[in-house]
């Protein structure tokens, strides 16, 4: 997920990893916790990866519980 707020270089990553929190109440978007910027953002373009279990994401998920 990339919100376009950062100036990206030619070889910089175009996406960030995050945790899906749910749906936005005010728009047709997902609420996602961005693990790089440590903020909650609303994003329309979200790609889900259910194949790979990431231990870093599971540790972040435990901190919310």
For the stretch 2-45, pLDDT in tens is 455 567 777 776 778 888 899 998 999 999 998 888 999 998 88
Alpha-carbon distance of 31 to 41, in angstroms, equals: 6
Alpha-carbon distance of 22 to 30, in angstroms, equals: 6
The pLDDT of residue 2: 46
pTM over 0.75: no
The pLDDT of residue 40: 93
For the stretch 40-64, pLDDT in tens is 999 888 888 777 666 666 666 666 6
Q: Which helix (H) or strand (E) holds 24?
A: none
The pLDDT of residue 30: 93
């Amino acid at each position: 997920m990339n919100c376009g707020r950062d100036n990206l270089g030619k070889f910089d990553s175009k996406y960030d990893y995050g945790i899906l929190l749910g749906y936005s109440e005010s728009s047709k978007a997902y609420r996602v916790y961005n693990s790089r910027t440590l903020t909650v953002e609303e994003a329309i373009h979200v790609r889900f990866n259910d194949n790979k279990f990431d231990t870093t994401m599971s540790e972040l998920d435990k901190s919310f519980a």
